[in-house]
Each structure stands twice: as structure tokens, then as C-alpha cells.
Homo-oligomer: A and B are copies of this chain.
Amino acid sequence: MPKSKYEFIYKDLKQKIESEEYAYQELLPSENQLVLAYNCSRNTIRRAVGRLVTDGYVQTMQGKGVRNIYRPVAQTSYTIGGIESFKESSIRNHKKGRSVVLQFMELTADEKISRRTGFPVGSELYYIQRLHFLDEKPLIINHNYFLKSAACGLTPEIAENSIYEYLENTLHMTIVNSKRVMTVEKITQIDEKYLELDVNDYNCLAVITSHTYNSDGVMFEFTQSRHRPDYFRFQDNAVRRSVS
């Protein structure tokens, strides 16, 4: 049971679009029709449709209607979405995921770590290095730094399963948003070894650096994800806005 009405409508419409109940380029029912169908106010419909717009599922046209522009994609590789744990995206991509903890240690942020992660000097941190497999293929090396005061009680066993599951379900933390930067970097010896790469083949990989915040407003996680280039794929839908 979804907690809100507009979220129910959003998911219902999304599912109808994905199952091609509306054809590509077809107009959805008008807002007023949807108001009757879902027995709610126009604002509620508009909120649901707004999410579909940002998802790139539909586009709205003043005076005309709401057009379905969703195309089912052949997912040849691993796709990244919002904020997800590796476990969650494995499930979404219908693949079998497995994680191995390469390192697990506690440390205190010095000048160098502080510059790299954004945590203040002196912060008590967990540092975790993990290798993620998808269908038994090593695809991602993660370097996680968690603020000990926010993620206390982490163990290698938890890290092997799902850290987010622990933070959300056991510590009852609410993860809110994540600022990410994507770059391309040279591979290191560690990458080469664990991701089974050959420098003569690819000598770079895709790197996602993220600062993640919880509902207390504290940046509790800094992560660098290093992705095998031949399996990396990041999807996005951008909306054009007036050039101010």
C-alpha cells in the first residue's frame, strides 16, 4: 500500500505505460478524465504526471495533452538509476549480484582523507573496499567511507550483504539525496587485478564519486565507485528549461 494517493496514481500510470497499454506517441487521457477515473483532485493528477515527465515517460503539451514517449529499451548492460544499493539495482536489472569485502577498517580522517572525502579532519570513519559481481563477473570496485557516528555497528558481514538495508531497517536512517560526479580515470593496479582488466585493452574506467546525505542533514557517506568500462551504462532524462 503506497502512503500517498499521487504516488499510487504515478505507479499505476507508469505500469500502464510500461505494459504498453498506451501506444508510443499516443495521448494519455486528459487530466479531467483522470480526475474522474481516480476520483481525486486535478492537483493530485498533476503531481503524478509531473513525475512521469521527469522520468522521461511522457511529455506534456499545453492545449493538447500528455503524450507517451516511453520506449522499452533492450538492456544490454548494467543500468544505473537514482540512489540504489548494488543489491537493489541487481534485482531491478534481473541479475544475480554478489559482493566481496576486500578491506574493512576504522580510521580517523587526516588532512589528506578530509580533502578527498569532504569529512572534517578528525572524523571517525569506516573504510570499506568491496568488489561487486554481477552474474559472477566482477564489475565494480567500491571505496566507501561511512561516518561512524551515523553508521555505527557496521561489520564486514553487513557489508557483504547490504549496507543500505542495515542503515535503513536496523538503524532507521532515512537516506535523502546524493550528489554525484561522473568522470573517467586511468585504471590502477587494484582495478586491474580485481576487475580482471587488461591495460592493453581498456586503460580507463568510469568513476562515480558521491556524497550522500541523510535526513539529519549530515553527509554520512563518501563513495567512489569504479566501474568496468565495457559494462558501464548510465541513463538519464534531461528537461530543457528556459535559458534564464
Contact = CB atoms under 8 A, between A and B. Distances in A.
A176 B217 contact: no
A56 interface: yes
B181 A83 contact: no
Interface in A24-75: 25, 53-54, 56, 59, 61, 67, 69
> By CB atoms of chain B within 10 A, which of A56, A202, A240 has the most?
A240
Contact of A217 (B3, B7, B56, B69): B69
A244 B11 contact: yes
A54 B241 CA distance: 14
Contacts of A175: 240
A159 to B, nearest CB: 19
A175 B242 CA distance: 10
Interface bin, chain A: 35 or more
Nearest to A219: B69
Interface stretch (A95-103, A106-114, A230-238): A230-238
Contacts of A117: none
A83 B204 CA distance: 26
Interface stretch (A121-129, A134-142, A143-151, A182-190): A182-190
Given A61-B217, A183-B232, A217-B25, A240 B202 contact: no
A182 B182 contact: yes
B213 A69 contact: yes
A179 interface: yes
A239 B180 contact: no
Closest 7 pairs (CB-CB, A-B): A184-B229, A204-B204, A182-B234, A83-B240, A180-B236, A175-B240, A83-B238
7 contacts: A25-B217, A56-B177, A83-B239, A177-B240, A183-B233, A184-B232, A186-B202
Interface of A: 2-3, 7, 11, 25, 53-54, 56, 59, 61, 67, 69, 82-83, 88, 175-186, 202-206, 213, 215, 217, 229-230, 232-244
